[in-house]
């Protein structure tokens, strides 16, 4: 009896390994090999990271501030860019105060406004005069909006596109000549999952991020021969003040209306920590990744539904829009 049980166990194990080697191994083995290659590549590039000049826009708060910490801790020469000089000074002081036990490079503060496109080449010229070159530019600065298409004034559409798209393009173009001349460099653009698929009440924001997706895809191909890389990051909701600082359809600050729109930003409040996203972006740079989605299961599923089952996606979004457009109890009264 014991021999029979042992024989059955051997038979089951043999069957398991036959099934595993036939079905799973052809998929798991290449996955493991690629993972090992990624880890080796990441470690090699991490050794080269100290001393790299990294320009970060939107560095005065949120994800930009988290990126400043991550790249500064990695030994980079960070250039902090945003409109608010006082907030940039605060971030700079925090960096120098938090990492006193390690050898670091003093951060450079560069106030700039992405909507002032004509001034951006001069700002990049200032960086080149200080450091001589730029290794990585992280286009993180931007503005969001909470408004349906019909309620959004045309000048607000223009402002969102100006900051999120044209500002990023102008800053990137100002950095490219020196990168191409040196045959090295990386452009990192922080987009959004809403650049992959659109949702109601984000028409202007989604349009700007879709435009950024198209720009990065074309640019990546065009400058590949010059060994300049492009990395596009598409995160889902991050726990930042982006929604508070977002615009309404009239151009007002959305934060002043949060009390009547709390349900719209519960997703932002429960979003991923900026430090976690910043570390993932650093890893994407080290692994030379080209197009990265940083999101939970639901946004990734929405992405695939949009492309594989568009009719279903459109129906879901229409239902969502109807729910958002429905009057609240206060409005009914």
Each residue's pLDDT tens digit, 29-66: 665 665 666 666 556 566 778 899 999 999 999 999 99
Residue pLDDT, tens place only, 134-150: 999 999 998 888 778 88
Which range, of 76-85, 124-133, 297-306, averages the lowest pLDDT?
A: 297-306
The better pLDDT of the pair 45, 80 is held by: 80
pTM of the model: 0.80
Average pLDDT on 170-193 reads 96
Angle between helices 85-98 and 62-73 (to 10 degrees): 40
- Give the per-residue pLDDT at 39: 64
What is the spatial distance between Cα 140 and Cα 92, in angstroms, rounded to a whole number? 17
- Give the per-residue pLDDT at 20: 53
291 has pLDDT over 70: yes
Residue pLDDT, tens place only, 231-244: 999 998 887 655 45
For 61, 127, 165, the CA distances from 140, given in Å and listed in that order, are: 11, 17, 11
154 has pLDDT over 70: yes
Nearest-10 Cα torsion for 174, 136, 229, 33: -170
The better pLDDT of the pair 184, 32 is held by: 184
Average pLDDT on 203-207 reads 91
- Give the per-residue pLDDT at 272: 83
pLDDT band at 248 (very low <50, low <70, confident <90, very high): low
- Give the per-residue pLDDT at 262: 43
Q: Which of these is catalytic: 31, 45, 205, 303?
A: 205
Give the start-end residues of each E strand in the chain.
53-57, 77-82, 108-111, 136-139, 185-190, 228-235, 291-294
The better pLDDT of the pair 98, 69 is held by: 69
pLDDT band at 257 (very low <50, low <70, confident <90, very high): low
Options 1.20.1080.10, 3.40.50.720, 3.40.50.880, 3.20.20.150; which CATH number does 50-325 get?
A: 3.40.50.720
Residue 313 known to be catalytic: no
- Give the per-residue pLDDT at 330: 43
Percent of the chain with pLDDT over 90: 56
Cα first-last separation, the chain? 79
The better pLDDT of the pair 90, 148 is held by: 90
Average pLDDT, the chain: 82
- Give the per-residue pLDDT at 196: 93
264 has pLDDT over 70: no
- Give the per-residue pLDDT at 183: 95
- Give the per-residue pLDDT at 27: 60
DSSP at 217: H
What is the spatial distance between Cα 227 and Cα 229, in angstroms, rounded to a whole number? 6
The residue extents of the domains of the chain are: 50-325
- Give the per-residue pLDDT at 19: 55
Query: Residue 6 burial by CB count (10 A; 0-12/13-18/19+): exposed, middle or buried?
Result: exposed
Which range, of 52-61, 267-276, 284-293, averages the lowest pLDDT?
A: 267-276
């Amino acid at each position: 009896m014991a021999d029979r049980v042992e024989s059955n166990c051997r038979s089951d194990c043999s069957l398991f390994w036959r099934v595993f080697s036939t079905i799973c191994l052809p998929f798991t083995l290449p996955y493991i090999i690629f993972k090992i290659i990624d880890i080796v590549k990441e470690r090699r590039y991490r050794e080269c990271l100290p001393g790299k000049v990294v320009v970060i826009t939107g560095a005065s708060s949120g994800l930009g501030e988290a990126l400043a910490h991550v790249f500064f801790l990695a030994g980079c020469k960070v250039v902090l860019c945003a409109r608010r000089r006082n907030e940039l000074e605060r971030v700079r002081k925090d960096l120098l105060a938090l990492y006193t036990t390690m050898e670091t490079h003093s951060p450079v503060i560069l106030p700039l406004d992405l909507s002032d496109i004509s001034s951006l080449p001069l700002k990049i010229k200032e960086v080149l005069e200080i450091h001589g070159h730029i290794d990585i530019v992280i286009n993180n600065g931007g503005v969001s909006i909470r408004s349906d298409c019909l309620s959004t004034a045309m000048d607000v559409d223009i402002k969102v596109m100006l900051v999120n798209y044209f500002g990023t393009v102008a800053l990137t173009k100002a950095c490219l000549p020196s990168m191409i001349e040196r045959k090295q460099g990386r452009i990192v653009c922080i987009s959004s999952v809403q650049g992959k698929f659109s949702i109601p009440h984000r028409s202007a924001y989604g349009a700007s991020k879709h435009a950024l997706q198209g720009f990065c895809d074309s640019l990546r191909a065009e400058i590949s021969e010059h060994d300049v890389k492009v990395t596009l990051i598409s995160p889902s909701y991050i726990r930042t003040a982006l929604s508070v600082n977002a615009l309404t359809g009239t151009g007002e600050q959305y934060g002043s209306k949060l009390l009547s729109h709390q349900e719209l930003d519960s997703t932002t409040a429960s979003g991923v920590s900026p430090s976690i996203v910043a570390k993932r972006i650093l890893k994407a740079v080290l692994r030379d990744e080209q197009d990265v989605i940083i999101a939970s299961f639901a946004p990734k599923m929405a992405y695939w539904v949009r492309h594989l089952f568009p009719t279903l996606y459109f129906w879901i979004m229409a239902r969502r829009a109807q729910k958002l457009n429905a009057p609240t109890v206060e409005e009914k009264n």
